[in-house]
Structure 1
Amino acid sequence: MIISILMLASGLTILLTAAHVIIPGTISVAYYFRVPAHVVAVLLIAAGTSAPELIVAIQAGLNGTPQIVWGNIIGSNITNILVVLSIAGLFFPIATTDTQTKRDMILLLAISAIITISAYYFSALPLFVSILLVIILACYTLYLVRLKPDEEEAEKNTEGAELSFKRSLIYCIAGVAGLVFGADLMVNAAVDLAVTLSISKAVIGLTIIAFGTSLPEIAAAIASLFHRRVDMALGSIIGSNIFNIVAGLGITRLVSELPVTTEILVTGIPVMILSTLILALLIFFKQPLGKIISVCFLAIYCLFLWLNLAIGI
């Protein structure tokens, strides 16, 4: 137990340190490459923190456990909105008028609709849909790297660019690696503690692991808000959800069949769509995600966990 506690503390230290360095690194990289910081947040933080979900999805697909693939991707997207943004919103009201964030939100709604229709109509993710998702991934990435910052964004990046180019890259790479490694260390330690305390595996999976895999996004989002970069906080979360779907489901389906289980159809997809729609309404109508909405989001997430436990997922 003592070793687990030390691992938990070490993981938290690594996570916080990584969150502290990755935001200034990201802003500086955006300045040197003359792109919006939002773009670097999506391509680096979102894609980087989504890498574990992609690896888990591919491994689960190859092992013949599609329910884990769907549960991992859908669960991660739900947690990112209902938990990550809610925790960040308890500290800072989150609101944006950023045009790019709205465009990303439209894309997230579109691809969420695509996989929802596929799941309910085909009871699986067809191969042609996965090919479409991979094409969307390629086009979206190409679109992002071609974006240029406006005058206000360029001024923000200039003010925040306090690092050399080399140090900026080191901060970004080390930051992403630290977020992922620190979270993994904390999850493993928490699972060991839970097993020692005789907590059931179902509860461990639905709470510790589900929450733990979103720790990088939580740390990055709060760090972004501390630096007054709401665009980066929202960009990393929305971008992470986009990459989860187009890469996690799209690429995995290329190597394995992905039939949908009843549990995913009953609770997973409906809650994902509901949370995504609510976030979209907040963004499009310029409503801040403050303490009250954050508490409501967390309440919905708790209800989601309770439903999963009740039906025995």
Structure 2
Amino acid sequence: MHNFLFVVAGLVLLIAGGNWLLKSAVDLSLKLSIPKIVVGMTVVSFATSAPELIVSVNAALDGFPDLALGNVVGSNIANLGLVLAVTILLSPINVSRSFYTTDWPVMMLASVLFFFFIYFDGVLVQYEGIVMVVFLFLFLVYLLRFQKPAVIDLEDEPDVMLPTYKTVLFLGLGGVSLWGGSELLINGAVGLATAFGVSERVIAITIVSVGTSIPELAASVIAVIKKEKAISLGNLIGSNIFNLLAVLGITSIITPVKVVDQGLLSSDIFWMLGISFLILPLVFFPKGLRLGWRDGLLLIGIYLGFVYSTIG
């Protein structure tokens, strides 16, 4: 019972911490006058990926590499199969041209890079982590240099900036909550895996990954409600890129990340590649550059199939 309470308490702290970090991140971007689509792809993505980063680094350092890997792979599947699905069920999204010229190709490239680094030897080592982080850095430089002038902010209402002390306070509270929440979540997840006799990968790919994807869900739903849909899709694609390149890149630079449960290589990684690829045809068919409720139902169905095959 206490393991379940640890997981719940950890998730609550991660959600609160992600929200505080998100507030401070968006406020910083306003102070720096960065356009919304770039904010979604960079600042918001990094803030909502912070739970995955903290959980993965902690898990790898504590000797639970399957939690680190399962958390990221599961989160990437949940971001598209669950979070994007819920978002477009609430309201259709018109997709900008940058989706197929930049965002989706970079996400697929990051996914394929991760696949080649881990599939053949079952371990992510330091130099591979460095390559991933350098790739992320180059992508961010490209985004800020070339996307910034091309984006026109259509928001009518002027955004209200927070006082600087509040921004710093949210940043500090967010960081501390994420760290504490990750400790509780890892302890609870490992305890649950032991109690139920399942592998850490199964717990990571289901409970932990959905838990750490909740900030993405919250950010995307709020973005849709506020009609800031550029942030919504950009946040999810960007978050998947950050999860692979930043979270696993930084984690493997700190300590090698080795696959323990082979199910990650024989099943999970292919689900991640498949659902990432599927987003491209869904954007173009049946209506060009638009995601609607039918796409949402299909993505939810695929996600439920993934969860069933993992638990089954």
Same topology, TM > 0.5: yes
2:21–2:174 contact (8 Å) kept in structure 1:
no
Q: Secondary structure at the match of 2:291?
A: coil
2:52–2:247 contact (8 Å) kept in structure 1:
yes
Q: Tell me what 2:93 maps to.
A: 94
**Residue in 2 aligned with 1:161?**
159
Structure 2: 5+ residue stretches without partners: none
Compute the displacement of 1:280 (Å).
2.6
Residue 39 of structure 2 corresponds to which residue in structure 1?
40
Aligned to 2:112: 113
Alignment CA distance shift 1:40-1:223 (3 Å): same
- Deviation of 1:141 after TM superposition, in Å, equals 2.9
Task: Give CA-to-partner distance per residue, 1:264-313, whole Å, 9 cap, x none.
Answer: 11221111001100113334663432222212211111111111112xxx
User: Offset at 1:221?
Assistant: 0.3
- In structure 2, what is the Cα distance between the partners aligned to 1:274 and 1:60? 26
What letter matches 1:279 in structure 2? I
Distance of aligned partners of 1:56 and 1:209 in 2 relative to their CA distance in 1, 3 Å threshold: closer
User: Which position in structure 2 is the counterpart of 1:304?
Assistant: 306
Residue range with higher mean Cα deviation, 83-92 or 100-109: 100-109
**Contact residue 102 and residue 283 of structure 1 kept, 8 A:** no
1:77-156 to 2 correspondences below 5 Å: 77-99=76-98, 102-147=101-146, 149-150=148-149, 153-156=152-155
How many residues are treated as equivalent by the alignment?
299
Which one is further off, 210-219 or 32-41? 32-41
Change (3 A) 1:91 1:175: farther
Q: Secondary structure at the match of 2:95?
A: coil
Q: How does 1:164-243 map to 2 (within 5 A)?
A: 166=164, 169=167, 173=171, 207-243=206-242
Alpha-carbon spacing, 1:40–1:170, altered in 2? closer, same or farther (3 Å): farther
Are 1:279 and 2:279 an aligned pair? yes
Per-residue CA shift, 1:98-157, capped at 9, x if unaligned? 42674122111101011112222333224432221011122223333435645762453x
Deviations 1:2-39 (A, max 9, x none): xx99xx89x98x969x979968983x755553322122
Pair 1:25–1:272, CA change in 2 (3 A): closer
Structure 1: gaps spanning 5 or more residues: none
Say whether 1:73 aligns with 2:72.
yes
Give the direction of change, closer, same or farther, for the CA distance of 1:98–1:224 in structure 2 (3 Å limit): farther
- RMSD over aligned Cα atoms: 4.1
Closer, same or farther in 2 for the Cα pair 1:217/1:178, shift >3 Å? farther
Identity %, equivalent residues:
26
The answer to whether the Cα contact below 8 Å between 1:22 and 1:175 also exists between their aligned partners in 2 is: no
Q: CA deviation at 1:60?
A: 2.0
